[in-house]
């Protein structure tokens, strides 16, 4: 991977942020004395911490069992650990860094959680129910600095990155809620608030913890990460050689239209983006999912579908068509049903695998692109 590309990333993003006249990060509270979340630690890090604190490394396995199999809510409950170790853990780590402010259930079974973080910011997490299992849509940042013109998550800019443990704990909290009915979180989509590739290291630690057999043991093929298209990170992710599903928010078949919808396209041109996608599919042998939101009158004609088919014809892929979800601050309109089908048919005619995303949770603002930390937004401005 070209180092120059990596170095220019921050400069390019900062240009975008300046353009948008946004402060990249706004602080809510002055200084909060935060303890690190125990959920941030990968097994080898926990072992290292134990050894540095005069404990045996094998305790890591026991602690992981308490955290991810028994899902205890206090260190005190870890009854096969010595009292001294439980005290050391309590002094060093937080076990709960998210508190549930709201748990809202949709008519279709979707549940949206609003969690408060230790510094007072709020984030959203969504549980979706499918025939194949229960899927959790996790948030990776408080806000977002990518600025997509159709998305609610980016409206207030970026407040801060989430720590790995704060991402892991979202899944633990949802699993604890499902424990009441003996159900299991089987799938994860990293498609909540934020741009996961803008918080890359935390996202990677999160993946390692939830995927680990002593962790939540969620199979890589049951996990999907989605990016707006931060090209250097696409190369980096391809080089990780993971079995995780990879989705790209494409939304347009040409540069002009893409940069109108997504300012990130000014930083990374469509041509270099598609080159990075080809690198990904060649390197991993896996297909990519293209997310394509249908925004009424913008990118949803049969001619656009034809152009899209040409753009992606030699790429091993699947296209996920997302009918636009209404965001009050944005004035995009919905593509009529019959036009959505025409778009899909056109892609299929060219041999491209395409499906229309089923909408879930729209009655509780939990649908794609609608997430925002509503209740807290005002306070943090």
Q: Is 317 a catalytic residue?
A: no
Decide whether 140 or 175 has the Cβ nearer to ligand SAH. 140
Decide whether 97 or 325 has the Cβ nearer to ligand SAH. 325
Q: Is 137 a catalytic residue?
A: no
Q: What's the closest the beta carbon of residue 39 comes to ligand SAH, in angstroms?
A: 21
Burial class (CB in 10 A: 0-12, 13-18, 19+), 280: buried
Residues recorded for the chain:
381
Q: What's the closest the beta carbon of residue 153 comes to ligand SAH, in angstroms?
A: 7
Q: Which residue minimizes CB distance to ligand SAH? A: 369
Residue 151 counted as an annotated binding residue: yes
Q: What's the closest the beta carbon of residue 141 comes to ligand SAH, in angstroms?
A: 9
Burial 51-61 (b: 16+ CB within 10 A, else e): eeeebeeebbe
Among residues 220, 135, 197, 172, the alpha carbon closest in space to that of 37 is found at 172
Distance in angstroms (rounded) separating the CA atoms of residues 316 and 359: 25
Decide whether 95 or 188 has the Cβ nearer to ligand SAH. 188
Q: What's the farthest any 2 CA atoms get from each other in the chain?
A: 68
Q: How many helices (H) and strands (E) does the chain have?
A: 13, 12
Residue 325 counted as an annotated binding residue: yes
Q: Rounded to 5, what percent of the chain is helix, strand, coil?
A: 40, 20, 40
Decide whether 232 or 293 has the Cβ nearer to ligand SAH. 293
Residue 299 counted as an annotated binding residue: no
Residue 85 counted as an annotated binding residue: no
User: What does the binding site for ligand SAH look like in residue numbers (CB under 6 A)?
Assistant: 148, 150-151, 191, 195, 226-228, 249, 291, 293, 322, 324-325, 327, 368-369
Residue 148 counted as an annotated binding residue: yes
Residue 194 counted as an annotated binding residue: yes
Angstrom CA distances, 205 to 196, 199, 201, 248, stand at 12, 11, 6, 21
Contact 299, 44 (CB under 8 A): no
The alpha carbon of residue 134 and the mean position of all alpha carbons in its chain are separated, in whole angstroms, by 16
Sheet holding 317-323, edge to edge: 99-105, 111-116, 122-130, 133-137, 185-190, 223-227, 245-249, 288-294, 317-323, 354-356
Decide whether 43 or 263 has the Cβ nearer to ligand SAH. 263
Residue 228 counted as an annotated binding residue: no
Q: What's the closest the beta carbon of residue 217 comes to ligand SAH, in angstroms?
A: 24
Among residues 107, 122, 125, the alpha carbon closest in space to that of 177 is found at 125
Q: What's the closest the beta carbon of residue 332 comes to ligand SAH, in angstroms?
A: 7
Decide whether 75 or 246 has the Cβ nearer to ligand SAH. 246
Q: What's the closest the beta carbon of residue 178 comes to ligand SAH, in angstroms?
A: 23
Among 55, 124, 166, 169, the active-site one is 124
Radius of gyration over every alpha carbon of the chain, rounded to an integer in angstroms: 21
Q: Which residues contact 199 (CB under 8 A, 6 or more apart)?
A: 140, 141, 161, 162
Among 55, 169, 317, 368, the active-site one is 368
- Known binding-site residues for [4Fe-4S] cluster equal 144, 148, 151
- Known binding-site residues for S-adenosyl-L-methionine equal 194-195, 226, 249-251, 325
Active site residues: 124, 368
- Known binding-site residues equal 144, 148, 151, 194-195, 226, 249-251, 325
């Amino acid at each position: 991977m070209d180092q120059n590309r990596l170095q220019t990333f921050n400069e390019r993003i900062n240009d975008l942020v300046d353009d948008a006249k946004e402060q990249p990060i706004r602080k809510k509270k002055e200084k909060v004395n935060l303890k690190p979340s125990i959920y941030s630690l990968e097994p080898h890090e926990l072992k290292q911490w134990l050894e540095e604190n005069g404990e045996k490394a094998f305790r890591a396995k026991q602690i992981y069992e308490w955290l991810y199999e028994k899902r205890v809510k206090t260190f005190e409950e870890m009854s096969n650990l010595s009292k001294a170790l439980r005290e050391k853990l309590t002094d060093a780590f937080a076990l709960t860094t998210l508190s549930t402010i709201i748990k809202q259930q949709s008519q279709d079974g979707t549940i949206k959680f609003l969690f408060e973080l230790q510094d007072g910011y709020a984030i959203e997490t969504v549980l979706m129910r499918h025939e194949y299992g229960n899927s959790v849509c996790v948030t990776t940042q408080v806000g977002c600095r990518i600025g997509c013109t159709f998305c609610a998550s980016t409206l207030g800019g970026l407040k801060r990155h989430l720590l790995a443990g704060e991402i892991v704990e979202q899944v633990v909290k949802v699993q604890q809620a499902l424990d009441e009915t003996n159900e299991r979180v089987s799938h994860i989509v990293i498609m909540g608030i934020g741009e996961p590739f803008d918080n890359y290291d935390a996202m990677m630690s999160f993946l390692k913890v939830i995927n680990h057999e002593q962790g939540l043991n969620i199979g890589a093929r049951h996990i999907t990460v989605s990016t707006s298209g931060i090209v250097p990170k696409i190369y980096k992710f391809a080089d990780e050689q993971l079995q995780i599903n990879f989705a790209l928010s494409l939304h347009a078949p040409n540069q002009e239209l893409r940069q109108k919808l997504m300012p990130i396209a000014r930083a990374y041109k469509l041509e270099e983006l598609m080159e990075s996608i080809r690198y990904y599919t060649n390197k991993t042998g896996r297909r990519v999912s293209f997310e394509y939101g249908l925004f009424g009158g913008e990118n949803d004609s049969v001619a656009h579908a034809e152009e899209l088919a040409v753009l992606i014809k030699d790429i091993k892929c699947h296209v996920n068509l997302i009918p636009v979800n209404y965001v009050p601050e944005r004035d995009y309109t919905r593509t009529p049903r019959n036009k959505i089908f025409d778009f899909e048919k056109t892609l299929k005619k060219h041999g491209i695998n395409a499906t229309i995303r089923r909408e879930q949770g729209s009655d509780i603002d939990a649908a794609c692109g609608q997430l925002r930390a509503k209740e807290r937004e005002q306070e943090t401005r």
